Amino acid sequence: MLSGLAVCAAAVAGTGYAGLSALVCLLGVCLGGSMGSLQAVGALAYPATLRATGMGWMSGIGRIGTLVSGLFGGIMIGAGWEIPRILFVLCVPLVLTGVAALLLRGVLSRTAPPLPDR
């Protein structure tokens, strides 16, 4: 969610190259941290009998998304889109994945088994 808000703020502000450099730094921190946490979420989301398969599919779909996003970025640049317009388009998947993570958090907290007493 923070990444989506940062991209939208940069699109609205029209910050220029200095602002875009700061945005890329912020996105690198936020998105890099979220990619690392996906492994932990995947381990909780899939039952033990399907965990390896589920994690493999999760990783594969993520890689497809990386390829498709680069393709769409090139298409937008080739079509002559300005930077703020491209940033607004980038806001959509960032906000959607943030909302999906919040929804998944609620689902996992309701279905998670209780922790054993020590």
Q: Does the global pTM surpass 0.85?
A: no
**d(Cα 68, Cα 70) in Å, to the nearest integer?**
5
| 115 located within any domain | no
Domain count of the fold of the chain: 1
CB contact at 8 A, 11 and 91? yes
Residues spanned by the domain of 49: 2-110
pLDDT of res. 40 = 77
pLDDT tens digits, one per residue of 15-24: 677 777 877 7
pLDDT tens digits, one per residue of 23-74: 778 777 777 677 777 777 777 778 888 888 988 898 888 888 888 988 998 9
pLDDT tens digits, one per residue of 88-115: 888 888 888 778 878 877 776 666 555 5
| 32 located within any domain | yes
| 42 located within any domain | yes
Closest CA to 94 of 46, 54, 34: 34
